[in-house]
Chains A and B, each alone.
Chain A
Amino acid sequence: MHNSRWSEFAVESLIRVLGFSTVGLVALIFVFLLREGLPVLSEVALPNFLGRAWYPTFGSFGILPLVLGSVLVTVTAIAIALPLGLATAVFVREVAPGWAREILKPMIEVLAGIPSVVLGFFGMTMVAPWVRQTLGTATGLTAITGSLILTYMALPTLISVAEDALDAVPKSYRDAGLAMGATQWQTIWRVIVPAARSGIVTAAMLAMGRAIGETMAVMMVTGNAARMPTEWDALLRPVRTMTATVAAEMGEVAKGSTHYHALFAIGIVLFVITFAINMTAARAIFAKRRRGGLR
């Protein structure tokens, strides 16, 4: 009796420690990032750090082109992926016959498992030449090439989360829509999709979080020119993302140098952006829970 109470206590403590350790690990990584990145603020003037030129060799550490490069590539990718992914989710959940759903769902999971370097190959050898020929750009390694590859990578997340959101819409809404004389399509578009709206927003957010952190495939296909993507045709020109910058330059930087600290500072910015995106997604989920009924 006494013994069992003690083992109960031990197991409970173990679980508690394991649970908190996840939080601890995240905090640890963030502290590490801060320790290595924050010194850049004392070494480089703030206007320089937030400036428009990234030439570390000449003492220019402006991260703006990199941030904008990441945002451009990511937002474009989600803008393409959202309608595609939503349409696929609607098809899989609402329209497809049972056997087609059985085939499609695992296929979508497989899509998520393709290593990003393989997608990078695919992007370099198939998508980039296609972009150069059809869009008439000087090089195939452009922002839009990166966006297309990221679209590919974002789709599985987007589809499966959006599909869950559609699945969570009570059947009674469907019945009500159909019983009013609405067609299946009208019921889907005017009742089910709006009811799943917050879940769909979450899906887009999670996909965006994944896309903005993606490194390898993006580095292989975007051309990596650290320039301000502010022209109207910026999508058709090379860009460089934050992730590609860190990955490409980390290997040849002297530990403890300003450049080294600047790369970590980029890591902090990326961390903060991803954190903000995930928080927004989480808020959408909580808002839905609070309203009740939908989950």
Chain B
Amino acid sequence: MTKLDVSRLDFYYGSFRALTGVTVGIEERNITSLIGPSGCGKSTFLRCLNRMNDTIKGTRVEGKILLDGEDIYSISSDVVSLRCRVGMVFQRPNPFPQSVFDNVAFGPRVLGQTRGSDLAGRVEESLRGADLWDEVKDRLKQDALSLSLGQQQRLCIARVIAVQPEVILMDEPCSALDPIATLRVEDLMRALREHYTIIIVTHNMQQAARVSDYAGFFWLNDKRSGILAEYGTTRQIFTQPRDKRTEDYITGRFG
């Protein structure tokens, strides 16, 4: 099943075209990794999928992105409900300077999804889902910034899944973490794959190879605009890349 159907997506920062003609279908309940050198539009593409680029002035989108067949950029679609369905985890852990509990409860509270004892249940469930419950169950009232970076990042994942989204976008979620914390987040991603469609931007080739089912390789065209040079199953991309540039990149000849 295709969850997100992107066709001929162009993206502009002012007059600069940062993405050109990206066409891809993201499979439901799979992990898709986006790889490629810095500055070729992977994160920009990711941020198109939940319209986070809307917060930057002077940006513009052409083409279509369909979520379950609905155009997320059509006039009738609502950004707030889109972002509830498509959650996002950022490069650096960014928990709010509030308690662990309040962090996870933020989404359900703001969206008016649950309250009272239901809320406590939702928080526990989300923390368990993010493989963090056992570590923080005795310090739910503590400041989230007192957790380790790895725990903070899993807290951010718990905060996202508390809203019960369908898609989770992760923008280099492990780049600020040490190898052990990285491994735990990767295990977590594999577990989350059962319920969520996950798209991850990563600079770590091994990570892409380890966790993802599908992989997309971004590259720059001759106008220095990002393109999706190759897309396929992770196995195919890493073992029989069709594109010479993909092969050079993943074998570490440059980049």
Contacts and interface: CB of A to CB of B under 8 A. Distances in A.
A181 to B, nearest CB: 4
A172 B97 contact: no
Contact of B81 (A178, A181, A191): A181
A292 B145 CA distance: 9
Interface string A263-295: 000000000000000000000000000011110
B94 A175 contact: yes
B227 interface: no
A56 interface: no
B96 interface: yes
Contacts of B81: 181
Interface residues of B, number: 28
A255 B50 CA distance: 75
A194 B110 contact: no
Contacts of A183: 80
B35 interface: no
B145 A293 contact: yes
A179 interface: yes
Contact of A291 (B84, B106, B145): B145
Contacts of B94: 170, 172-173, 175-176
Contacts of B145: 291-293
Interface in B127-159: 143, 145, 156, 159
A246 to B, nearest CB: 43
Interface string A144-175: 00000000000000000000000000101111
Contact of A180 (B55, B83, B92, B98): B83
Main secondary structure of the interface of A (DSSP, over half): helix
B183 interface: no
A45 B110 CA distance: 60
B52 A181 contact: no
Interface string B69-106: 00000000000111110011010101111100000001
B57 to A, nearest CB: 9
A195 B160 contact: no
B174 to A, nearest CB: 16
19 contacts: A172-B92, A173-B94, A173-B97, A175-B52, A175-B90, A176-B90, A176-B94, A176-B96, A176-B159, A177-B96, A179-B83, A180-B106, A180-B107, A180-B159, A181-B110, A181-B111, A182-B80, A190-B106, A194-B98
Interface of A: 170, 172-183, 186, 190-191, 194-195, 291-294
Given A180-B84, A180-B163, 11 more contacts: A172-B90, A173-B94, A175-B55, A178-B52, A179-B83, A179-B87, A179-B88, A179-B90, A181-B84, A181-B110, A183-B80
